[in-house]
Amino acid sequence: MGNIEQIREVFDKYPIEAVLHFAALKAVGESVVEPEKYYLNNVANTLNLFKVMREKGVNKFIFSSSAAVYGEPKYNPIDESHPLSPISPYGWNKAMVEQIMKDYSHAYDFKYVALRYFNACAAEPEAETGEWPGSSANLIPLVLDAAIGRRENIKIFGTDYPTEDGTCVRDYIHVVDLASAHILALKYLLSGGQSNIFNLGNGRGFSVREVINMVKKVTGVDFAVVEVERRPGDPPILIASSDKAQKEFRWMGENAG
């Protein structure tokens, strides 16, 4: 989205009614050491897209946001009224785009839904789509890589968090459930729904060590685990309340709730 003329070409070529936005860099740790890269791609380039949408009269937008907007949570499960306090440039990217959408919604004929993902995981059940091998920075693919010998070990970043086993706790949501939420959000906007924000998660948390131990149990492989220092930008616990999405969309994915 860095080339605004190419965006215009797409809008000129196709009869677009709404935009679903998935184009972003998403590694929290990388955003801390390369913030410029993240602000340019995730914020500035999204403004390019908004500019073209306004030019072409397209006013419905579904945004892939993130639980990273909450920062260090004051309570769990986290609902949408929780204060926003990002602790990484990635989290600020998402919060900034959410604020831009609110401003656009007030100033222009612009309707949006922001979907705050918690930890997306897994792949399409028929294995026709999924993460590109070797490209992921997410825990579950990396642990599975260690189990099959593609990696020498799996690292645990921090074992001194205020959790039961000292490792971070996350709410894992299946990508199929995320996909179904996007379809429901699109129907919501097309049927006249107002701009809104929704959490997408399971409402249950699993620690890094629990995920690693479960992969060892399922695969029968006792791969190496290396404990290292915490990464910047990682809150101890993130667990979603998705009650709002379930109420507004009647969203209840196979793994949600």
Tell me the catalytic residues: 90
pTM above 0.85, yes or no: yes
- Domains of the chain by residue range: 4-249
Tokens describing residue 172? 């894992």
Do 137 and 27 form a contact (C-beta atoms < 8 A)? yes
pLDDT tens-digit series, residues 197-247? 999 999 999 999 999 999 999 999 999 999 999 988 788 999 999 999 999
Query: What is the average pLDDT value for the chain, to the nearest integer?
Result: 92
Topology of the domain covering 4-249: Rossmann fold (3.40.50)
pLDDT digits (tens, 9 = 90+) for 133-175: 656 678 999 999 999 999 999 999 999 999 999 999 999 999 9
Mind giving me the DSSP string for 122-182?
Answer: ---TTSSS-PPTT---SHHHHHHHHHTTSSSEEEEE-S-SSSSSSS-EE-EEEHHHHHHHH
The first and second tokens of residue 210, run together, are 């629990």
Structure tokens at 85: 């306090």
